[in-house]
Amino acid sequence: MCGIIGYSGQISVSTKPLEVCLQGLGRLEYRGYDSAGVALAAPGMEEVAWKKKAGRLSNLEESLKKNPLPGAQVAIGHTRWATNGVPSDVNAHPHISQDNKIALIHNGIIENAAALKFDLESEGYTFVSATDTEVAAKLLGKIANQIIEETGTPNLFEAVRRMARMLTGAFTILAVDVRQPDIVVGARHDSPLVVGLGDGESFLGSDVAAFVAYTKEALELGQDQAVQIQGGNVTVTDFDGNVATPKHFTVDWDASAAEKGGWPSFMDKEIHEDPEAVAQTLLGRFDLDGSLNLDEVHIDEEVFRSIDKIIVIACGTASYAGFVAKYAIEHWVRIPVEVELAHEFRYRDPILTPRTLVVAISQSGETMDTLMALRHAREQGSRVLAICNTQGSTIPREADAVLYTHAGPEIAVASTKAFVAQITAAYLLGLYLAQVKGTMYRDEIQDILRDLRAMPEKIQWVLDNQADTIHDAAQKLINAHSFLFLGRHVGYPVALEGALKLKEIAYTFTEGFAAGELKHGPIALVEEDEPVVVIVPSPRGRNILHDKIISNIQEVKARGAFTVAVAEEGDPDVEQYADVIFWRPQCPTLMSPLVDVVPLQLFAMDTAELKKLDVDKPRNLAKSVTVE
Ligand code: M6R
């Protein structure tokens, strides 16, 4: 939620600061696209230069073309997902201090903004917007002037720290001050901020996408830390001014990975990266003898052996990946696996012991609900392992251990390749537990790993062979008012995920159900031509599941439903009963979610495109949900 960028260069007046901000905002726009704005400072300026516009970044760029801003040495830029105040020009960031010397941008929610505003108003400060951010801007202006009165010199770094100590809630704040036109200062509490290290220049960003076009060298800023960048110099302190040493890392993907690369949308590109996301997540996690090696997670085998329960905490798509993994891990490791929506978890007094392994799954590594659940689990003495796709983000930093998915940057708001990568990583964790606990024979583990390694090719088969059928189905069902998605066993979370995709990008009312629930209520929704999408398990193996799902298809068909099945190639029963079939190649039941989700991702995307909707930036949503 909200994308933030800051830049400090060596040259006192140039167009680079603005260029860096606009370029970075383009890459961060997936975090929020209600409005965008920039502020600049340069030696000799009396007041900060700024511009902001409601709507997409392109509106701001248009406005800057008509009325350009002057050259500068430093700049900050913001793209907003509105929390306080409607999306509008006036509520857009930056917000400016009363004397126009300071500009400030913010991600998060300042919970004590009303009280602070009340005090400021009683001192004569005036407000034009409905945002908590303007309160911070006015407050920072006041504190900065107090410091000048006290010491005779401006000190924006100290002013930001003093302000940070007064704020409650969640925030990343960046500010510039014309009286110190070569620095940008930032502070973070429960909201992300990373530093990019350039040659004689430095960057600040909500995530590395902000500056990866300029540098891959980065620093992770810790909780309750403030940072000052001044050309190539970076200073990090806590909010009391004690110098801190942040962790250095090198970004492991190129700027081109966060570009469309010829695809019509990021979502299209990312769905087509599903096979690679699985393959990359498997890479490098085996010893020469083929056994699984998860040394990178830095948890002793002894500790893993002692684990007697797993609780997965996650939201949205990540929670469905955890739900799929539950079936596999319980089967392989014979310990209970609970899957809990992170926002429900800490409010129900969960039973956590030192032998519970809490697995926090998050693509962004910033989801506030998941972060809060993680903290709760650690406070209760449980170990937390993060499955995450984003280096330098908060969740892996605060977890005891991390298993990275290597899906590459996911830009489209709808999560796709992250889902298959999360399942893959969770499966590796399950098999590793089975290996160290000895709940499976080595040969059995090797067989499953072989199946897993075969999945990228099978996903590719779906992408190569089913696209036309899926597109035709989307065209046929474009005017449907609602959809039902049904699945059993691992097909159930896949049904939930397919339903989520369709709601979030095609805005169609859609519900996912366990197929067994059908007769307990949902079947009442089925009327003539109601589309029902059914995930059909393989007729081989556990065919009892298959037969039951075929009965479910017959039941809804008998009531007029239009049935779409995701089924194994050549399944004769499905051919007999389903109106449309998205085929998958043969694979073991526990592997099927990795392929079955792919046609559902394509179906949602095609439907949204046919409706002329923006598939990458659906309404009301943002990629990283960094507020509770
Ligand atoms: O970054 P995370 O994986 O923690 O995000 C969790 C959910 O917010 C996310 O999966 C969301 O449901 C997606 N928009 C689904 O496509």
Structural domain boundaries in the chain: 3-251, 259-453, 463-628
To the query of whether residue 53 is one of the catalytic residues in this protein, the response is no
Q: Which residues contact 472 (CB under 8 A, 6 or more apart)?
A: 580
Q: pLDDT tens digit string along 555-571? A: 999 999 999 999 999 89
pLDDT for the residue numbered 533: 98
Q: Which residues contact 440 (CB under 8 A, 6 or more apart)?
A: 332, 431, 434
Residue 1 has pLDDT above 80, yes or no: no
Using 50, 70 and 90 to split pLDDT, how confident is the model at 32?
Answer: confident
| Angle, CA 392 vertex, CA 390 and CA 396 arms, to 5° | 75
pLDDT for the residue numbered 619: 92
Q: Rounded to whole angstroms, what are the CA distances from 240 to 45, 111, 163, 187, 220?
A: 30, 21, 11, 12, 19
Ligand 1-lining residues (CB < 6 angstroms): 315-318, 362-364, 367, 370, 413-415, 500, 504, 624-625
Q: Quick one: CATH architecture of 259-453?
A: 3-Layer(aba) Sandwich (3.40)
Alpha carbon of 73 to ligand 1 centroid (Å): 37
**Residue among 367, 497, 507, 628 whose CB has most ligand 1 atoms within 8 A, to mutate:** 367
pLDDT over 70, % of the chain: 100
Alpha carbon of 550 to ligand 1 centroid (Å): 32
Residue 271 has pLDDT above 70, yes or no: yes
> Mean pLDDT over residues 259-281, rounded?
93
| Angle, CA 54 vertex, CA 194 and CA 504 arms, to 5° | 75
Q: pLDDT tens digit string along 438-476? A: 999 999 999 999 999 999 999 999 999 999 999 999 999
Using 50, 70 and 90 to split pLDDT, how confident is the model at 542?
Answer: low
Q: Which CATH number fits domain 3-251: 3.60.20.10, 3.30.70.520, 3.30.1600.10, 3.40.50.300?
A: 3.60.20.10
pLDDT for the residue numbered 30: 83
Ligand 1, atom nearest to 317 Cα: 10
Alpha carbon of 318 to ligand 1 centroid (Å): 6
pLDDT over 90, % of the chain: 85
Q: Please tell us whether the domain made up of 463-628 is placed in CATH 3.40.50.10490.
A: yes
Using 50, 70 and 90 to split pLDDT, how confident is the model at 175?
Answer: very high
Q: In this structure, what are the phi and psi dihedrals at residue 396, rounded to the nearest 5 degrees? A: -65, -30
Whether the bond into 94 is cis, omega within 30 of 0: yes
Residue 349 has pLDDT above 70, yes or no: yes
To the query of whether residue 2 is one of the catalytic residues in this protein, the response is yes
pLDDT for the residue numbered 346: 82
Alpha carbon of 101 to ligand 1 centroid (Å): 38
Ligand 1, atom nearest to 395 Cα: 4
DSSP codes joined into one string, 273-338: THHHHHHHHHTT-B-TTS-B--GGG---HHHHHH--EEEEEE-HHHHHHHHHHHHHHHHHH-S-EE
pLDDT for the residue numbered 561: 95
Catalytic pick among 2, 21, 388, 587: 2
| Long-range contacts, stretch 65-69, CB < 8 angstroms, 24+ apart | 69/18, 69/38, 69/40
In this chain, the answer to whether the domains covering 3-251 and 463-628 adopt an identical fold is: no
> Mean pLDDT over residues 233-257, rounded?
92
Q: Rounded to whole angstroms, what are the CA distances from 159 to 156, 181, 228?
A: 5, 15, 12
Alpha carbon of 98 to ligand 1 centroid (Å): 38
Catalytic pick among 101, 417, 458, 623: 623
Mean pLDDT of the chain, nearest integer:
94
